[in-house]
Structure 1
Amino acid sequence: MNKQSPDTSATLFAKARQVMPGGISHRYRWRLPNPNYVDRAEGAYKWDVEGKRFIDYKMGATSQMMGHCHPAISQAIAEQAGRVIFAGDCNPIEIDWAQRITDMVPSAERVRFTASGTEATMLAIRVARAHTDRAKILRIDGHYHGWHDHLMKGAKAGPEAPPSLGVPPEIADLTLVCAPDRAAMEAAFAEHPDIAAVIVEASGANYGAVPMVQDILLAAREVSRSHGSLMILDEIITGFRWAPGGRQALAQVDPDMTTLAKIATGGMPGGALAGSAQVMDMLDPSVTKNGMTPGVLHQGTFNGAPIVAAAAVVMLDLLADGQAQAQADRMAHSIRAGLNDLMGKHSIPGLAYGESSTFHLYFGENDGTLNGIPAGTIRTPNPALVSGLMNALNARGVDLMSAMSAVTSAAHTDRDVDETLTAFDAAFHDLKEARIL
C-alpha cells in the first residue's frame, strides 16, 4: 500500500471487520473508532497509510530493540530469503543463533526454538512437569506468560478465574496463584507439595508496569530449589533488553529454564526455551526418560526457521556489548524524568516510573514507589483517561505501547524525547481542560 491508496485506517478497519473477528489479529490492537494501519517504519518512526508520522514507543510490541528496519537486520533477512526461507530441515544458522544465546544468557546451556513466546512458556511447563513428575504450576498474580490455557488463571491481577472463556476448570485447577512474596510462595508449597515449577515474569507484571523487587527473583529460585521444584524465568520482554544477559544477569539469579522471544528472535516471529543441560535433556531424542524417548515430545513446523535465525544472529551481535541498551535506557530515563516534571507543572498527582528502557504512567496519589497500591488498580486506569491520553498523543504524532506503558529503542534520540515531552505537555493541558485529569 502507498500514500496514493484511497484507503484510510478507517476504511481498512471497516473492510477488516468483514473478514476477521473484530477486524484484528491481536486483542490489544482493538481500538475505536479504528486502529492505526501502519504502512512503513524506520528507526524510531512509523507512518500510517495516510502518511502521518509517529514517534513509536511500541516498537513492535518491544521486539524492535535496534529500531525499525535496522539496515544490517534487513539485509540479513533479504540475503537469507534469497537462499532459503524455510525448508523443514536443520539449518546451519540455527546453530549460530543457539550459540549466541548460550554465550550471552548466564543460565542457558541448551536451547530449543519455538514458533512464539507463548509456545516457549507452554514447552517450559511440559518440560517441568516431565522432569519433576509433578502437575501443578505456581505463578505470580498478574504476571503474563502468553495466552494458553495453562497460565490464563492469574493473568489478570486479583480474580482467581481465568480472564477468558474456554479454559476448562480441570486445567485451571493445576495453576496456583500467589503474591510476589517469599512467604506466599512457601505457603503454596506447604499446601501443594506437587508443584512442578514456579514461573515469574522477570521484570514484574507486564514488563514492570507493576514493580517487583529483585529479591522476589532470588526467593523464587531458592524456594523452588528447596522444594525440589524448578524455576522458569520469563524473559520474553526483558531478555537482551535489560542487559546483554537479560534481567537474570543483573539479578544474578540462575533459573532452570528461561523463556525468550521478541528481541531474541531478531524482531521476527518465534521464541526459544533455554535452560540447563540436565533439564533440557528431556527434549533430546537420544536420551530416554522414564521409558520415553525423548522424554518430552516437542514439534513445530517453523521452529528455528532460517529467515528468523538470520535476523536473530545479527540482532544479538548488535546487542552483545550493551551499548544499544545503554542508549535506550538513557532515552527512557529522560522521558521518565520529563514526565514527572510535567505532572508537577500541571498539578497532576501521578508518577512516571520504570526500569531499563521502559516508562510507565500511574495517575493518582502515590508515595513515589507505588507501595501499597494494588496491582489491579495500577493495571486498570480510568478508561476515559486511557482513550483520551492515547488520542491526544496520537494527534501529536506519538504512539505508546498502551496509553500507560511504552519502551524505547537504540534508535530513539534526544530530539525524539523533546518532541515526545512537548506532545505530553499539550496532552496533559487538554485532558485537564476536559476535566479528564
Structure 2
Amino acid sequence: MTRTLHKSGQMYAEAQRYLAGGVSSDARRMPGVPLYVDHAEGSRLWDVDGNVYIDYVLGQGPALLGHCPREVAEAVAAQAVRGMAYSAQHAAEVRVAERLCAMVPSAERVRFNTVGSEAVHAALRLARGYTGRSRVLKFEGHYHGWLDPVLYSVHPALDAAGPAQAPRPVPGTAGQQPGHADDLIVCPWNDLAALRRTMEAHAGQLAAVIAEPILCNTGAIAPEPGYLEEVQRLCREHGTLLVFDEIITGFRLAPGGAQEFLGITPDLSVFGKAMAGGMQVSALVGRAEVMDHISTGQVAHAGTFNSHPVGIAAAEATLRILDRRREAVYGTLFSTGAELMEGLRAAAAKAGVPLLVDGPGPVFQTYFTDASAVRNYRDFAATDRAMMSRLHAALLDRGVNMVPRGLWFMSTEHSSADIDATVDAFSSALKVM
C-alpha cells in the first residue's frame, strides 16, 4: 500500500513558513511529511488525504476510551456554552477532586493543572518546600516533562551518560541552565544496589525520588519484583518523598493507576493524559500532610487555567466511566492488549525476526532485539531503534499508527477485527523490511 499525501505535503510546506520546524511539538516530527489529521473517532484516524489508520498512538495515550467518546464529547459541549474560563471556583472541580480521592490510593488532597510538565514541577516544588531539602533523584530513561530542572538523561548518548551504575545527568536540549544539574541525581532503573549506594551518599539532601512506576517513555519496563517496595522503604528511611509520575500509567492500568496495579502508595503522584479523555487536564495529588503545605500558603501553586471548566467537564465524564464501568473497561484493555501482543510475536516468529513484545497490555512496547528482557535504559539503547523507525514508516503506509519508538496504546474501541488487520499489516511490513 502506498499512501497519497498530496494535501499533507502542501500543508507541511505551508506550515514550515509559519511554525518553527513545521510542527508544534518535537514529538510530532518524523522523516518526510508529518501526519495531518482531519478527524478521529473510536480506534481510527482519517488524515487530510483521506487515508484511514488504526490508531495506537491515541494522542500519546489520552484516548483510553477511543477518540471522541460520546459521553465525554457531550460533557465538553455542554460546559463550553456555560463558560470557558472563570478564574473562580466551580462545583465540578470539587466533584472531580472527590472522585480522585476515592479512586487513587495516594490521593487525600488534589490540585489541578493543565499539562503533565506543570504537575511535575508543582510536585517537586512541594517536595522541596515540605522537606526543606533541594535535591531530587530521578532514574535514567524516565521522562518527567520538558522543563529545565528535570529534562536530563531521558535518552542520552551513551558516550556522555557515564557508568551504568552511576549515570551522569545529561541535558536533553541546548538552552538548559547548567546549574539545574547540581540539584539532580540520576540512578539506573531496577538496580537496588546503585540506589542504596546513591541515597546513602546523599543522606539528608534528597527532597524526593521521582519515577514512572512502569517506565513507558523508554519502552514499557516494569519494576522488578520487590523493587518499588524497597524504593519506598529507602525513601521512608531517609525522610525523602516518593513521587510517582503517572502521566502515562494513570487510569490506563487500573482505576487507581499503576499504584493500584502494583500495590505501592507513594507520597505524591501526578496524573494527566487519560484522566480527561483527550482534554488538557493534569493533577497533583498526595498525602494531606504534604499537600497542606500548599493550602497554608507555604508553597505557591497557581495558574489561570487550573481546573479549567471545559477540561474538568471532560475529566468528570471520563472518570465516571472508568469508575462505574471498571470491569468492562479494564477487562477489554487487558484482553485486547494481550491478543495484539501475541499476534505480533507470532508474526515476527514466522518471519524469523528477533522481536521482544513486553508490557502489561493496555500499553506495551515492541523491541527489535535478541534479548529476552529489557530492564533499563541501557538495555533499551542496545535494541535496534533505527529498525523500529523503519517499522513505524512501513506501518503508516499500511494504515497502522503507533508511537515511533515502538510503544502501543490500547483503547476500549479496538476490536478483534482491528487486531487482525494490524497483525496482517505488521506481517506485510516485516516482509518489506
TM-score band (shorter)?
A: over 0.9
Alignment partners' CA distance in 1, 2:206 and 2:327: 36
Say yes or no: does 1:196 pair with 2:207: yes
Give secondary structure in 1 for the equivalent of 2:149.
helix
By relative contact order (CA 8 Å, sep 6+), the higher-ranking structure is 2
Give secondary structure in 1 for the equivalent of 2:345.
helix
Matches within 5 A, 1:4-23: 8-23=7-22
Give secondary structure in 2 for the equivalent of 1:156.
coil
Deviation of 1:46 after TM superposition, in Å, equals 0.7
Alignment partners' CA distance in 2, 1:74 and 1:168: 41
Alignment partners' CA distance in 2, 1:27 and 1:216: 33
Tell me the equivalent position of 2:418. 416
**Deviation larger for 273-282 or 383-392:** 383-392
Residue 403 to residue 178, structure 1, CA distance change in 2 (3 Å) = closer
Alignment partners' CA distance in 1, 2:234 and 2:143: 21
Say yes or no: does 1:337 pair with 2:348: no
Residue 380 to residue 38, structure 1, CA distance change in 2 (3 Å) = farther
Residue 387 to residue 248, structure 1, CA distance change in 2 (3 Å) = closer
Alignment partners' CA distance in 2, 1:55 and 1:274: 34
**Cα deviations by residue, 1:311-342 (Å, 9 ceiling, x for unpaired):** 00110111112421221221111111111111
Say yes or no: does 1:91 pair with 2:90: yes
TM-score with structure 2 setting the length:
0.92
Deviation of 1:402 after TM superposition, in Å, equals 1.8
Which of 255, 264, 268 does residue 279 from structure 2 map onto? Answer: 268
Structure 2 unaligned residues grouped into runs of 5+: 162-167
Alignment partners' CA distance in 1, 2:285 and 2:21: 36
Alignment partners' CA distance in 1, 2:47 and 2:357: 28
Give secondary structure in 2 for the equivalent of 1:8.
helix
Alignment partners' CA distance in 1, 2:15 and 2:246: 33
Alignment partners' CA distance in 1, 2:48 and 2:172: 34
Matches within 5 A, 1:137-152: 137-152=136-151
The amino acid across from 2:210 in the alignment is I
Deviation of 1:387 after TM superposition, in Å, equals 3.5
Tell me the equivalent position of 2:262. 251
Alignment partners' CA distance in 2, 1:39 and 1:226: 53
Deviation of 1:304 after TM superposition, in Å, equals 0.4
1:132–1:196 contact (8 Å) kept in structure 2: yes
**Cα deviations by residue, 1:103-150 (Å, 9 ceiling, x for unpaired):** 100110000001210101000000000000000001111111111111
Tell me the equivalent position of 2:374. 370
**Deviation larger for 192-201 or 164-173:** 164-173
Give secondary structure in 1 for the equivalent of 2:249.
coil
Tell me the equivalent position of 2:165. none
Structure 1 unaligned residues grouped into runs of 5+: 1-5, 288-293, 432-437
1:208–1:355 contact (8 Å) kept in structure 2: no
Tell me the equivalent position of 2:292. 281
Deviation of 1:212 after TM superposition, in Å, equals 2.8
**Deviation larger for 230-239 or 145-154:** 145-154
Alignment partners' CA distance in 2, 1:298 and 1:331: 40
1:54–1:399 contact (8 Å) kept in structure 2: yes
Say yes or no: does 1:128 pair with 2:127: yes
Say yes or no: does 1:184 pair with 2:194: yes
Say yes or no: does 1:304 pair with 2:313: no
2:208–2:242 contact (8 Å) kept in structure 1: yes
Residue 110 to residue 191, structure 1, CA distance change in 2 (3 Å) = same
TM-score with structure 1 setting the length:
0.91
**Cα deviations by residue, 1:240-266 (Å, 9 ceiling, x for unpaired):** 110011111122211110010011233
Residue 209 to residue 239, structure 1, CA distance change in 2 (3 Å) = same
Alignment partners' CA distance in 1, 2:277 and 2:95: 13
Tell me the equivalent position of 2:387. 385
Identity %: 35
Alignment partners' CA distance in 2, 1:259 and 1:358: 18
Alignment partners' CA distance in 1, 2:67 and 2:16: 28
**Deviation larger for 149-158 or 121-130:** 149-158
Say yes or no: does 1:212 pair with 2:223: yes
The amino acid across from 2:317 in the alignment is V
Residue 380 to residue 62, structure 1, CA distance change in 2 (3 Å) = farther
The amino acid across from 1:174 in the alignment is D
Residue 216 to residue 25, structure 1, CA distance change in 2 (3 Å) = farther
2:356–2:371 contact (8 Å) kept in structure 1: yes
Residue 172 to residue 322, structure 1, CA distance change in 2 (3 Å) = farther
Deviation of 1:216 after TM superposition, in Å, equals 2.5
2:221–2:359 contact (8 Å) kept in structure 1: no
2:281–2:312 contact (8 Å) kept in structure 1: no
Tell me the equivalent position of 1:434. none
Give secondary structure in 1 for the equivalent of 2:217.
helix
